[in-house]
Structure 1
């Protein structure tokens, strides 16, 4: 099997599992308990928080462990908007993950006004559009660092600086960027950032929310006041340790990944009639290549590829099974029918040139079979 769906999830790294294992067994304590078993768990949690904070250039007190990217996005958008709003106006981009868009829609039902920024044909938010949309009562701006469907990377430093000039807090969903792009929150200029562990080789069900010191937030989960009152509930120590381990393991040159990605894109565009690359050609995630194939159903291509050992997707895993065209692709100006022909290939540092060459060959064959132009491969 050639697995090319790492934007959906990555395999759990062995080193991460080994780091977590003691907290499923001998170090099983509740970190809020005031005895040695609990204190041992508390020390592990504190160390994990410190390691995560170092990875993003933050203070440990600015890190909240969550159940994943969706919860982190919800906590940031709802929590910041509801805590001490400058007003009741929120700005998001039109191509955000549903966790952001649905959180913003929830706020609209509470009386907030939501502005969705459009994007250009490559999925890029135009800085001038953000400047024009900002108001004195804008209480939050949320723009993702990199898109989960087409891989386009946003100009977060520029966009956050524009928001800061008007005094509006800036949140970024960095779920797809983590592991590939610089996460230093000071350089990015963000007051809030979301990351999910299972995109990094950590387990599903753990994430983090960076919240800059002094940024007020109304918690979504009330109870015993864990996580400095920002997220009540007994902490998942093993998962937090795994998240920290995964972030420590991130590293190494991405130049080879970029080279393999570009060669794969070039071959698909050259050998598959009518194939169109979606997203920025170069300013995109290193392990992301996404296409549309006008006139050919994307789901049929996926089935044909999987039958021959290539696992990929049509877009966001959160939208799997939906009959609706991708909101990302339609926001980029693609016709709804064309948007439904999308196929996304996402891969990691361990994906080889041979893997991508084989995937490209099988894609050429699959499109030929589905379109009726070729014979089914044996």
Structure 2
């Protein structure tokens, strides 16, 4: 139930990756073995490009989405002359951290209560200064699943003479993503979010856009990213991209059913971003008086894997930055958990989750009521699980 963190390796990707391990040549070599490896890489480049309607030559393979984001920010500074970065307030830490490490001025673009980027604010921010800018706006948020107005933002951005980077790691393979139609200048992709191996991703770079490599020392990837290609990982990524081309639209029925059942159990539950267009597989919700850490422990003991948001924080559960940006009060945000479905999900998974969540919810609420009645604690149920169960 945590597919936004990573989704199981697709059988097509496993087969392609394992078979590629037996291809012995270096893709940069001109002999027969080298050409065989190069063919695998170029086939995958075409498959990844087709997933997001990009030209194969626009696809630059990387070690994952995080490196691709860092490559994009570096290129913006070194090749595009960008001197300030406008980053959505709900952007993934991979993009935000790369922006903060760039040494350039960074400003956050606000979002509304559903987590959608404020386009009027973006326009005002772009007009406020005449220095070249890069706007970073993700396709879909990894926590709420809210789909962002990327095409509209790109139009505003280009009219101001700026550039747009789109992190599509969570969107690609789940819903249709069209690099050309969106108008993005660069796009970040990740392999393991759509059923490929971990440790491989890509940066899509618009044809003709000036670019400077962050990693140097070789001529690989048309001199845009030095280092011998991860042939096995790239082959698996390409196969996963091909297998994921139909998206996950059918999962909206399961996701919506889950939310209806949770709302019946907890009428005061809040589903974040539910009034906006969302990924069909993602639900981020909470109810007053709950604590995310206690819930995650209870669900984990029942064999259910969910998260309290992004999965890139060394296992820590802190105050949700995305919900803060949306103006969600602490009473709700501290109990928020994310359920995300994937290509292996089925109705029985929803049944099992709702049953487990309901039991944990009733235990926590009963304990809170008891402690409030005794005057021991007020409004919060964040004791260790052992105390909850006792």
TM-score (norm 1): 0.93
**Match of 2:280?**
286
Q: CA 1:201–1:365 in 2, change beyond 3 Å: closer, same or farther?
A: same
Select which of 319, 327, 349 maps to 1:325: 319
Distance 1:290 1:267 in 2: 14
Distance 2:90 2:275 in 1: 17
Select which of 104, 112, 115 maps to 1:120: 112
For residues 139-170 of structure 1, the C-alpha deviation after alignment (integer angstroms, 9 at most, x for no partner) is 21110010111111101111111111112111
Select which of 18, 22, 31 maps to 1:21: 18
Select which of 236, 244, 262 maps to 1:250: 244
For residues 274-307 of structure 1, the C-alpha deviation after alignment (integer angstroms, 9 at most, x for no partner) is 3211123351110001112332211111111121
Distance 1:222 1:253 in 2: 35
Q: CA 1:103–1:336 in 2, change beyond 3 Å: closer, same or farther?
A: farther
Deviation at 1:339, TM superposition (A): 2.1
**Match of 2:310?**
316
**Match of 2:374?**
none
Structure 2, gaps ≥5 residues long: 370-387
Relative to structure 2, which stretch is displaced further, 296-305 or 267-276?
267-276
Deviation at 1:130, TM superposition (A): 1.1
Q: CA 1:264–1:282 in 2, change beyond 3 Å: closer, same or farther?
A: farther
Deviation at 1:40, TM superposition (A): 1.0
Look up the SS of the partner of 2:198 in the other structure: coil
Distance 2:314 2:113 in 1: 23
Q: CA 1:239–1:77 in 2, change beyond 3 Å: closer, same or farther?
A: same
The runs of at least 4 aligned residues of structure 1 exceeding 4 Å deviation read none
Deviation at 1:354, TM superposition (A): 2.4
**Match of 2:171?**
177
Correspondence 1:330-369 to 2 at 5 A: 330-336=324-330, 338-369=332-363
TM-score (norm 2): 0.90
For residues 301-324 of structure 1, the C-alpha deviation after alignment (integer angstroms, 9 at most, x for no partner) is 111112122211111111243353
Look up the SS of the partner of 2:312 in the other structure: helix
Distance 2:247 2:176 in 1: 13
Deviation at 1:226, TM superposition (A): 0.8
Structure 1, gaps ≥5 residues long: none
Deviation at 1:355, TM superposition (A): 1.5
Relative to structure 2, which stretch is displaced further, 177-186 or 188-197?
177-186
Distance 1:113 1:309 in 2: 44
CA RMSD of aligned residues (A): 1.9
Deviation at 1:215, TM superposition (A): 1.4
Distance 1:247 1:253 in 2: 10
**Match of 1:42?**
38
Matched residues, number:
369
Distance 2:219 2:323 in 1: 41
User: Retained in 2: the 8 A contact 1:81–1:139?
Assistant: no
